[in-house]
Amino acid sequence: FDPHFPAAGAALLRRSAMLMGSKRIAGSPCLGLTSATLGSFSGMTCIALFGPAMHLLKEELKLGPLEAAWLIASPVASGSIMRVIFGAYADAAGAVKPLMGLLVLAACGIFGVAWMMSQLTAGGADVPIGPLRAGERLLSEFVVVANSSIQNTTATWAVPASTSTVHEPPSGAYTMLLAMGVLAGFGIATFSVGIGHVAYWFPKSSQGSVLGLYGGIVCSAPGLTTLVLPHILEAFGLTMTYFCWASCVVAALIVYASIAKNSWYFQLRGRGFGQEEARSKAEEFGQEIFPADNAFQGLSTAASVWQTWALTCLYFTTFGGMVSLTGWFPTFWHEVHGVLPTTAGSL
């Protein structure tokens, strides 16, 4: 932990208090760290979007190993690509709006997954993915009734569980889940956006401390999700679990939108100051790190440093390994060793 962080942080807070009273710009380093951590934590849960529930989806959709792999990888692949794009965009426009947009897309993706789960579980308690719970029963009956009305069938209510026929997954269910996984994966890109959000609020002497704290908390999101999700699935079923998940992301989005502020430089730029003038004024309040003149210049500068590629390789193996194991370990422990899904999530 950086021994200079308390003094530097106190000085920045005093300067931030002066700014908050000016009615021109607002926020503080601690608030920047808190908001970025909250937003990125909720987005990073999407790494574990399908892993803890894959044993259920494989049985219901009759998925092979390759199809299951594509489904698990869909949010990770889109999130990895979007990190580069949105990370560069955040350097040009500030982090708040990009991060909010990513959380909106992630929430839409998870709501889409939840809707598909309601389609898969509609049909009765004899569906092989497990019994429907009370809330999920109401949702499934609503789905059946709505579908029956659209198709002009004579049925008015869902067929009771004891007399229902063999349930078949809806046409295109796998493709829809794959697409929603890609959309939900945009939430994973909040990690790179949040790094810039935090870094610009703190001096160079504190970067290791605050980014380590930010990264440690945010990167725990997939593991905690994998640990908790099997228990929620067992208690409430697929549909309610994913609807609650999406609702939590929306709640985090609302809190983030309420408290998040860009660093002083971006706020000054938003007030009409030029680059040099905004940089000069932001330096008076303690900001030491500033973005490049444009996103392409920033990427080019980073790519020209060999240490960037060394750290990229290290990141590829360590973080990539964490992501892949988070997605696959629940399936591995359950199918190969026969442990319960809740135990597999804990392992």
Distance between CA 195 and CA 189 in Å, rounded? 11
3-state secondary structure of 151: coil
R_g of the chain computed on alpha carbons: 23
3-state secondary structure of 24: coil
Are 99 and 197 within 8 A, CB to CB? yes
Distance between CA 118 and CA 276 in Å, rounded? 54
Distance between CA 202 and CA 2 in Å, rounded? 12
* Torsion angle, alpha carbons of 223, 228, 231, 234, to 10: -80
Nearest to 201 by CA among 128, 285, 143: 285
Are 34 and 229 within 8 A, CB to CB? no
Asked if residue 132 has pLDDT above 50, the reply is no
Chain position carrying tokens 């690509």: 81
Instruction: State pLDDT tens for residues 157-204.
Output: 333 444 444 456 566 788 899 999 999 999 999 999 999 899 999 988
Higher pLDDT, 329 or 251: 251
Asked if residue 104 has pLDDT above 70, the reply is yes
Roughly what angle, to the nearest 10 degrees, separates helices 190-199 and 96-121? Answer: 150
CB atoms inside a 10 Å sphere around CB 152? 6
CB atoms inside a 10 Å sphere around CB 159? 14
Are 38 and 198 within 8 A, CB to CB? no
Higher pLDDT, 87 or 328: 87
* Torsion angle, alpha carbons of 85, 90, 91, 93, to 10: 120
Higher pLDDT, 70 or 131: 70
CA distances from 296 to 91, 243, 267, 291, 292 (A): 10, 39, 22, 11, 9
Chain position carrying tokens 């003038």: 277
Cα 108 vs. chain centroid, distance in angstroms? Answer: 11
Instruction: Give, in degrees to the nearest 5, the angle at Cα 264 between 262 and 265.
Output: 95
Are 269 and 34 within 8 A, CB to CB? no
Give the confidence band of 21 by pLDDT, cuts at 50, 70, 90: very low
332-345 b/e (C-beta count within 10 Å ≥ 16 → b): ebbeeeebebbebb
Higher pLDDT, 110 or 11: 110
Most confident of 48-52, 61-65, 126-130: 48-52
Asked if residue 152 has pLDDT above 50, the reply is no
Distance between CA 94 and CA 78 in Å, rounded? 22
Instruction: Give, in degrees to the nearest 5, the angle at Cα 47 between 74 and 95.
Output: 100
